[in-house]
Amino acid sequence: MNLRTPGPTPLPEEVKRALAQDMVNHRGPEMAALMRETTAILKDLFFTQNDLLLFTSSGTGGLEAAVVNTLSPGDRVLSISIGYFGHRFRTIAKNFGADVSPLDADWGKAVEPEQVRAALEADPRIKAVMVTQNETSTGTTNPLQSIAKVVKDAGKLLLVDGVSSIGSIPLETDAWGCDVVVTASQKSWMTPPGLAMVSVSPTAWEAYRQARMPRYYWDFDEAKKYADKGTTPWTPGLSTLYALNAAVKLMQAEGMQHVFARHKRVADYTRGRLKSMDLKLFADERYASDTVTAFVSPEGVEQKRILRRLKEEHDVVLAGGQGKYEDSMLRVGHMGFVDVPDVKAALDALEQVLSEERAAKAAPPVPR
């Protein structure tokens, strides 16, 4: 199957083989070696010297961990949202009692650093800023580096949802001053779902010591204490960890600059092909994502019919839209284990289905 959804993403052979390994004692030396090696490589790929914690969960668990470990009920937070996942991060903060101040852009647009600066200047009570680097629901990437500069110049804590960005597009955790960065194994990491990876800066640890939101499973300090002993507080998703270990070694061998260049090449190719099919891309071109491309379902052709024909006739799986665009958008995932021939095959199939559908629509009705 040519799986072109924005997560889960396809697995390299080395990763599939790693998944087949037998269990070990997760309190024993094999686990310690596995965790230490994986964490050390992950830190390089995050461009960080900060602590890097692993949680057995999907990305949303990592987002909840970021919130409950750094904030107290009543804390004022600036929540930047440009789509479905920005709203999810916001909802988590709200549900745990944060006093959320929203900063939104229309879906398909990014937030400009000047807007963030104005929002911070207007409300000195803001303690932290939450932002999604890459909004998977619209294929739009916020200019994180310049947003981070504004946030750090203002001395605020910066919590980043990097779930569908880090590992595929540049995110320099330390150089940009990102205090907490969250990602998940099934995205850029060429690994099955099951692990969230979270980096925690010294500033985030200071916030941790003040933070009073309730937490148990997600407690950073528990995770860190156990990580120092080469294990996790709770039983880990061991097979996913084997897979992640194999995957990060592949990424390290390729080199992150090459990984970023590959994603850019694939994204440019995808956008070019979609435009050549007269399809309307959803994202503002200046901020178009290199990990997922969203386009508007062509007029007169039912989105579900396109998805079904692609799957049944070509074994190609694209994603539909989310939230208010659930039925009117299509998305091509191109993150992780992907290169141009993979998207070419999917887009050739899309072109064929669309030309057949458009021809059928244009054809005069058959006389009875």
Ligand X SMILES: Cc1ncc(COP(=O)(O)O)c(C=O)c1O
Choose the stretch contacting ligand X; rule: CB under 6 A; options: 43-51, 111-119, 156-164, 341-349.
156-164
Question: Is 110 in a helix, a strand, or coil?
Answer: coil
Choose the stretch contacting ligand X; rule: CB under 6 A; options: 53-61, 92-100, 166-174, 216-224.
53-61
The whole-angstrom separation of Cα 228 and Cα 208 is: 18
**Is residue 79 near ligand X by the rule CB under 6 A?**
no
**Is residue 132 near ligand X by the rule CB under 6 A?**
yes
Q: Which is nearer to ligand X, 70 or 231 (CB)?
A: 70
**Is residue 240 near ligand X by the rule CB under 6 A?**
no
- Going from the C-alpha of 33 to that of each of 18, 40, 220, the distances in angstroms are 15, 11, 21
Residues 151, 157, 163, 238: which binds ligand X (CB under 6 A)? 163
Query: 3-state SS string over 53-77?
Result: EEEECCHHHHHHHHHHCCCCCCCEE
- Site string (57-76) toward ligand X, x via CB under 6 A: -xxx----------------
Count of residues that bind ligand X according to CB under 6 A:
12
Phi, psi torsion values for 305, nearest 5 degrees: -70, -40
**Is residue 321 near ligand X by the rule CB under 6 A?**
no
Report the run of H or E that residue 31 belongs to, with start and end.
helix 29-45
- Going from the C-alpha of 200 to that of each of 71, 106, 128, the distances in angstroms are 14, 30, 14
Choose the stretch contacting ligand X; rule: CB under 6 A; options: 54-62, 228-236, 250-258, 261-269.
54-62
- Going from the C-alpha of 296 to that of each of 43, 317, 330, the distances in angstroms are 37, 17, 6
- Site string (167-196) toward ligand X, x via CB under 6 A: -----------------x------------
Cβ atoms of 161 and 85 within 8 Å: the answer is yes
Read off the amino acid at residue 364.
Answer: P
- In angstroms, give the least distance from the CB of 135 to ligand X: 6
The whole-angstrom separation of Cα 202 and Cα 9 is: 32
**Is residue 115 near ligand X by the rule CB under 6 A?**
no
The whole-angstrom separation of Cα 149 and Cα 159 is: 13
Choose the stretch contacting ligand X; rule: CB under 6 A; options: 14-22, 161-169, 225-233, 354-362.
161-169
Cβ atoms of 271 and 115 within 8 Å: the answer is no
**Is residue 290 near ligand X by the rule CB under 6 A?**
no
Q: Which is nearer to ligand X, 52 or 92 (CB)?
A: 92
- In angstroms, give the least distance from the CB of 63 to ligand X: 6
Q: Which is nearer to ligand X, 96 or 205 (CB)?
A: 96
The whole-angstrom separation of Cα 311 and Cα 2 is: 9
Cβ atoms of 162 and 126 within 8 Å: the answer is no
Choose the stretch contacting ligand X; rule: CB under 6 A; options: 10-18, 97-105, 157-165, 169-177.
157-165
> What's the gap between Cα 122 and its chain centre?
30
**Is residue 136 near ligand X by the rule CB under 6 A?**
yes
Q: Which is nearer to ligand X, 148 or 354 (CB)?
A: 148
**Is residue 161 near ligand X by the rule CB under 6 A?**
yes
Read off the amino acid at residue 218.
Answer: W
Contact footprint for ligand X (CB under 6 A): 7, 58-60, 85, 132, 134, 136, 161, 163-164, 184
